[in-house]
Chain A
Amino acid sequence: MRKQFMIIILVLICVISANAQKFITKTGHIKFYSDAPLEKIEAHNRQVNSALDLSTGGFVFKVLMKSFEFQKALMQEHFNENYVESDKFPSATFVGTLTNYKDVNPAKEGTYNANVEGKLTLHGITRDIKEKGTFEVKQGKLFGTAKFNLLVADYNITIPGNVGKNISKTIEVTVNITLDKADK
């Protein structure tokens, strides 16, 4: 009986410590930016789900495409209806790993490099990506930032010739997340 009790306590300690390593947000920010000869376009999504498990390095993002907001209503319509086809592919996901997760110490304030790799699914196409960013640990939170480029052609997104000078073939993606402890 005493042995069983000790096992339960040990399991609980493991679960609690695992939870203590999990950080989440539901209000992450992702910006798309296109710099084409005739027009600069940006879109913002401030409803991004993200979770990072510092005990395994597991790192995920879930992004609803209809939550991207453009300055011009017409561009937002074209983005949803013609380019990312958000009725057919309502979300983009990233499932991967913070490969250097052991370097990030959430108990020690400072700025840490973040090496992230995994599978990005956008417009129904899944591709391996490998990007770098940073995490700043401050007041128990993890402030993550990253900036990288995506080729629209890699995700079967076709830019019609008549707007070829309005939309860049390379989209700059900026990620800003503030991750809180999941057990908070």
Chain B
Amino acid sequence: MKTWVKIVLGLIVIGIIALFLVYKFVYNKQHPDYENIEASYTLNAQDLYQAYRSDRDAASAKYNGKMIALTGNLSKIEAADSLVTAVFVFSQGDFGDEGIRCTMLPKFNTEAGKLQPDGEVKVKGYCTGFNETDVILEKCSIINQ
């Protein structure tokens, strides 16, 4: 086989491998493993809620898009369709209970469903912001004490 043919074939193979890697690790990359991401902040649930209530812009800049570990007294567990949400209630408003709503990763739905209201729990989740009534955490996991 002529040298130039070998070079062209080699370049084609390298190109195909590069395309595959770009597809797999860039274009089609997986969502983060939320359960195993280290929390950027660890704080009391009420402190997080008060941070948003007292200065929403500052709290948004600090916490939105971050993984946050929270400790607090659970108020209730809500289940709707396939979503299970742990709720920490700190005030009342036009929308009823207001506080922090933590939507669980599906693998924690059963464990979350067994949590008792008024008990202290520690959860970790991805903070998407404050919607005027609640701080929203998604992809939450329960951290074993």
Chain A interface residues (CB < 8 Å from chain B): 22, 24, 26-27, 46-47, 49, 51, 62-64, 66-67, 72-74, 76, 80, 86-87, 90-91, 182, 184
Contact = CB atoms under 8 A, between A and B. Distances in A.
Contacts of B80: 27
A90 B129 contact: yes
A182 B129 CA distance: 23
A67 B137 CA distance: 9
What 5 pairs between A and B have smallest CB-CB spacing?
A66-B128, A67-B128, A73-B31, A64-B129, A90-B129
A62 B131 contact: yes
B129 A26 contact: no
Contact of A26 (B29, B32, B61, B134): B134
A74 B129 contact: no
Interface stretch (B3-11, B94-102, B115-123): B94-102
7 contacts: A49-B95, A62-B132, A72-B27, A73-B30, A74-B29, A87-B64, A184-B96
B68 to A, nearest CB: 13
Nearest to B57: A90
B28 A67 contact: no
Given A27-B80, A51-B95, A90-B64, A73 B128 contact: no
Interface string B80-101: 1001010000000011100001
Contacts of A63: 131
Number of chain B interface residues as a range:
20 to 34
A26 B101 contact: yes
Contact of B129 (A27, A51, A91): A91
A90 B128 CA distance: 8
B73 interface: no
Interface of B: 26-32, 60-61, 64-65, 78, 80, 83, 85, 94-96, 101, 103, 128-129, 131-134, 136, 138
Contacts of A74: 26-29
Contact of A67 (B95, B133, B138): B138
Nearest to A47: B136
Contacts of B132: 49, 62
B29 A64 contact: no
A89 to B, nearest CB: 11
A182 B95 contact: yes
Contacts of B85: 27
B64 A24 contact: no
B27 A64 contact: no
Q: Considering residues A62, A76, A182, which has the most beta carbons from chain B within 10 angstroms of its beta carbon?
A: A62
A27 B64 CA distance: 19
A72 B128 CA distance: 18
